[in-house]
């Protein structure tokens, strides 16, 4: 039986394990998906050695960037993004070859593209982690200019206290790539001038639990077009399967 799995820390509630195991059952695929919660990325070789049946892995927080040092191949797209969330495990004789890809960018762009209109030309990307890099890359591939928002002074970013009503009017697509608002901390949200939002704004939240975050509720209150990350998750899970099975 082939094995697939998820590495990250902490894992807690995982969408991937339920999705993939249900798919394997529905399609009669002789495989099982497991969670591999590792406290350090240095434990990855141990996971591989103990599970010679592994054919593929997903990678989540905090290892999307750190995992790249272990890979034999990184796709040009994942290298440009600077983050990997899909690994294909190939067994070539006694050698194990790890190939890295990014399905976040595929899931995100396919999910947000139908929402975009001609006046959506600039975006704020909240957060600076691996997912935010994929989102920024995806938005730029769709023709939008992006600026990352950080809590700290970092090159090429702006800080939350600098986001004025004029900024959200100009950067009228806002994507939350932070965990703010995720269950169980559902009464948190990024610090933004929500009262300045209009129906010309899109607020997209990568969080999918709860279905409607406080970030989304506040946006909807002022007429913004809002969406959560569930569709992105489904699309990137489907893309993961394609990468595991030979799509380059």
**Residue range 79-136, pLDDT digits in tens:** 999 999 999 999 988 899 999 999 999 999 999 999 999 999 999 999 998 889 999 9
The rounded percent of the chain whose pLDDT value lies above 70 is 99
pLDDT of residue 85: 95
- Using DSSP, state whether 202 is helix, strand or coil: strand
C-beta atoms surrounding 86 within 10 Å: 25
Task: Of 9, 23, 10, 99, give the one whose Cα is nearest residue 54.
Answer: 99
In which order are the strands placed within the sheet that holds 2-8?
A: 31-37, 2-8, 54-59, 86-92, 95-101, 73-74
Enzyme catalytic residues: 64
pLDDT band at 222 (very low <50, low <70, confident <90, very high): very high
DSSP letters for 15-49: HHHHHHHHHHHHHT-SEEEEEEE-SSGGGHHHHHH
Return mean pLDDT, the chain: 95
**Residue range 36-83, pLDDT digits in tens:** 999 999 999 999 999 999 999 999 989 999 999 999 999 999 999 999
Task: Of 245, 246, 247, 248, give the one whose Cα is nearest residue 20.
Answer: 245
Tell me the average pLDDT across 215-235: 97
Give the predicted TM-score (pTM) of the model. 0.90
Is 236 a residue whose pLDDT tops 70? Answer: yes
């Amino acid at each position: 039986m082939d094995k697939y799995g998820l590495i990250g820390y902490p894992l807690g509630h995982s969408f991937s394990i339920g999705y993939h195991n249900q798919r394997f059952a529905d399609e009669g695929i002789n495989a099982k998906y497991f969670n591999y919660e590792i406290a350090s990325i240095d434990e990855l070789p141990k996971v591989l050695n103990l599970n010679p049946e592994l054919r593929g892995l997903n990678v989540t927080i905090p290892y999307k960037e750190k995992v790249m040092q272990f890979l034999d191949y990184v796709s040009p797209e994942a290298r440009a993004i600077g983050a990997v969330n899909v690994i294909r495990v190939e067994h070539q004789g006694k050698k194990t070859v790890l190939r890295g890809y990014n399905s976040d960018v595929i899931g995100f762009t396919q999910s947000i593209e139908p929402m975009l209109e001609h006046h959506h030309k600039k975006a704020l990307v909240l957060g600076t982690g691996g997912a935010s890099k994929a989102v920024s890359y995806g938005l730029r591939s769709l023709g939008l200019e992006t600026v990352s928002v950080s809590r700290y002074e970092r090159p090429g970013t702006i800080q939350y206290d600098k986001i004025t009503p004029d900024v959200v009017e100009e950067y009228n697509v806002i994507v939350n790539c932070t965990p703010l608002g995720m269950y169980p901390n559902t009464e948190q949200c990024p610090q933004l001038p929500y009262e300045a939002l209009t129906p010309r704004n899109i607020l997209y939240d990568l969080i999918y639990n709860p279905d409607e975050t406080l970030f989304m509720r506040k946006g909807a209150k002022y007429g913004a077009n809002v969406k959560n990350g569930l569709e992105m998750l489904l699309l990137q899970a489907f893309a993961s399967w394609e990468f595991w099975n030979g799509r380059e």
